[in-house]
Structure 1
Amino acid sequence: MRKPNKFSFHKIRVFGLSAVFILLSCGSCQNSTSKSKSPEVSPSQSPNEGFVSIFDGQTLEGWEGDPVYWSVVDGTIVGEITSETLLKTNTFIIWKGGEPADFELKVDYKISGAGNSGFNYRSDRVEEVPFALKGYQADIDGQNRYTGQNYEERKRTTLAYRGQKTRITSQESGDVKGFVERNAWKGLNLESELGDRDTLGALIKKDDWNTLHVVIKGNVLQHFVNGTLMSEVTDDDPKNRKMSGLMGFQVHVGPPMKVQFKNVLMKKL
């Protein structure tokens, strides 16, 4: 390669320094401008974009449930069983705003150590039992044995354990009860593992506030807790699946317990 002479080298150096000075000056102008206004957040980065509150934080307006078990305390929906109010059947507080099909729901919850609860969606009423629902449930319990799994209340039972991505198929014949074994649907087909069940469980706080987020679209049902996907179901069972229905929170039969819900947000998809 030919070496540049002194003149050409000098020109390059001068022009180069001039260019650097111009770039630095422009950069300084841009920095001073950017400091003068707040950073912009795109709609896709806004975590609650499009969500609306469905609990006013003060009353149970828009909800129905047995007042023996459900109340509002300190801005939270409280479901509580005492030694004097033990349940014979599971009971729910049911949202009266419709029967959503595709939607997302976010809610902060806190549950006592002996507690057993959940969020039901695309569910039907159990006509012979007041305030009872049957349908998909994002499970919640105080010991985090089941939290995050997909359990179908009064129907096909377990559709995905925590840490599972599953595909659900129909029974060939007979009724639903005949296709359940060891509290799980026989048509539960494991597609992949989302993670170790215990490792995922360790991300869920005990006797403290956690955030449940469900994403329900078509026949794909996703349950997140604290931002981590805990279970995913693709329901390819046209005989038994539901594509819309009621929503509600549960208090489960068992020992005295308490569960609290706040910041209940929903977005229709």
Structure 2
Amino acid sequence: MSTSLYSKGLRLTGLVAITLACTVLISCTSNEASDGWQSLFDGETLDGWRSVGGNAPYAIEDGAIVGTMTAGTPNSFLITENEYGDFILELDIKLEGETTNSGVQTRSHIDETANNGRGRVYGRQVEIDPAPRAWTGGIYDEARRGWLYPLDLNEAAKAAYKKEAYNHIRIEAIGNEMKTWVNDIPVAHVVDTIDATGFIGLQVHSIGDSALAGKKVYFKNIRIQTENLQPQDFPQGIYTVNLTPNSLTAYETQSGYELLFDGQSNAGWIGAYQDTFPTKGWEIKDGNITVLPANGSESTNGGDIVTTEQFGAFDLSFEFKLTEGANSGVKYFVTLSEQNTGSAIGLEYQVLDDERHPDAKMGKDGNRTLASLYDLIPAQKTNRSTRPIGEWNKGRVVVAPDNTVTHYLNGEKVLQYERGSDEYKKLVSESKYKNWDNFGQADSGHILLQDHGNRVSFRNIKIKRL
């Protein structure tokens, strides 16, 4: 009797255990379905992924996808077989070494014929960068447009990355907007109209140093949401790279940005030393405001144009496109009090074809080259920070309330100085501006686009008062 009851008890206990297990399983499955997250990696196999590009191997170790850096092969990628449109992607990444590199491709594509049939991946990539420049979380356009969001645009986020440890990456791609976080710190914000869909990819970067062969990059906890997306709060004050010409996102507007050029009219602009916009020498067409070519001389055709408003501390962004051999400039703190001939006086962000215009070889130590503070401070550019003639470049000038001024070119910081400092005054005393009293030190001034007799186009001109 007792044996029979004991057997029944075992059967009952087993039934309860099975029931509880099923309940837990159903509950977990329901929770995963209800919050919309889907795992892209099961922890055991590479089902749903394929290797393309280079020949770096991918394996599975302790529930992580592990890519190994390999000499003599181009960038390698493990890409999803499925493509994704709007999504929120989260994963953890660990990278060995401090001179290595990796990244996560989003809405990307492949040229299947490149690399001897291995394919070449292209598209927006979230950077993983342990090097001293610390651009992890920045956005790079792999094999196409280059850097879209270097972390010089958000220096506070450079400290987010943890070396030789797992870093939690969050990527939101919703509509035309892409935002990134590293270890819950907001990093980058790009608005881009291309690539509405594409695959996800995990990169093992090519290596030029054979000593790096064998270094590894680890990916785990890879999950994605594609429905009922709830964007995470993105605090105000983080710079936005908006690639939609002459437009402002709601986030930019809330942050205080305003357009200085609406893409259609000359509203807000007049000729320097004039009461109206020039009747010749400038063209507004196809969303661009363009200096028309004349004889290459300074302000002899339509003349410079200036904003009707004046600005003190500000964050100014603009895009410009040069033609071969062209010269122009964007000036700030232009007071128009000098009543001089030629171009109006002001601090100038140089806009120039460095290769073909003779002004690049004049001045001192390259202080008349592209993005320099003209005739005062040379821009410290790299080949990576410039775009070819005929392509759009992005300029930016930030004047902080403490008079610290920073020039950027395509998102990279190229110079910084303090307006009115002893060092600044010494530079002015040795420049072509030495005879102008208090040059560049006005409390406020106009923004100016220069007519130097060459065809140069501008667009996406926006400003935020600081």
TM-score band, normalised by the shorter chain? 0.5 to 0.7
**Cα 1:55–1:158, aligned 2, differ >3 Å: closer, same or farther?**
same
| Residue among 202, 205, 228 paired with 2:185 | 228
**Cα 1:74–1:226, aligned 2, differ >3 Å: closer, same or farther?**
same
Equivalent residue, structure 1, for 2:37: 51
Equivalent residue, structure 2, for 1:75: 63
| Greater RCO (Cα-Cα under 8 Å, separation 6 or more) | 1
**TM-score, normalised with respect to structure 1:** 0.64
The answer to whether residue 46 in structure 2 is matched with residue 60 in structure 1 is: yes
Equivalent residue, structure 2, for 1:206: 163
Amino acid at match of 1:109: I
Gaps of at least 5 residues in structure 1 are 1-45, 165-194
Amino acid at match of 2:60: V
Equivalent residue, structure 1, for 2:230: none
Equivalent residue, structure 1, for 2:104: 119
Q: How far, CA to CA, are the matches of 1:234 and 1:104 in structure 2?
A: 16
Q: How far, CA to CA, are the matches of 2:119 and 2:165 in structure 1?
A: 27
Q: State the shift of 1:73 in Å.
A: 0.8
Equivalent residue, structure 1, for 2:346: none
Equivalent residue, structure 1, for 2:14: none
Once the two structures are superposed, residues 80-107 of structure 1 have per-residue CA deviations (whole angstroms, 9 ceiling, x without a partner) of 12xxx314311100111x2101001000
Q: How far, CA to CA, are the matches of 1:123 and 1:134 in structure 2?
A: 6
**Pairing 1:1-269 to 2, within 5 Å after superposition:** 49-65=35-51, 68-81=56-69, 85-96=70-81, 98-113=82-97, 114-127=99-112, 128-129=114-115, 130=118, 132-143=120-131, 145-162=134-151, 164=153, 195=154, 197=155, 199-236=156-193, 241-254=194-207, 255-256=212-213, 257-269=215-227
* 1:202 counterpart SS class: helix
Equivalent residue, structure 1, for 2:282: none
Q: Is the 8 A contact 1:65 1:131 kept in 2?
A: no
Q: How far, CA to CA, are the matches of 1:163 and 1:100 in structure 2?
A: 29
Q: How far, CA to CA, are the matches of 2:106 and 2:141 in structure 1?
A: 10
Q: How far, CA to CA, are the matches of 1:226 and 1:244 in structure 2?
A: 26
Q: How far, CA to CA, are the matches of 1:99 and 1:204 in structure 2?
A: 28
Q: How far, CA to CA, are the matches of 2:192 and 2:51 in structure 1?
A: 29
Q: State the shift of 1:261 in Å.
A: 0.4
Q: How far, CA to CA, are the matches of 2:135 and 2:72 in structure 1?
A: 20
Q: How far, CA to CA, are the matches of 2:104 and 2:56 in structure 1?
A: 19
Q: How far, CA to CA, are the matches of 2:218 and 2:75 in structure 1?
A: 16
Q: State the shift of 1:56 in Å.
A: 0.5
Q: Is the 8 A contact 1:139 1:146 kept in 2?
A: yes
Gaps of at least 5 residues in structure 2 are 1-31, 228-466
**TM-score, normalised with respect to structure 2:** 0.37
Amino acid at match of 2:65: I
More strand by share: 1
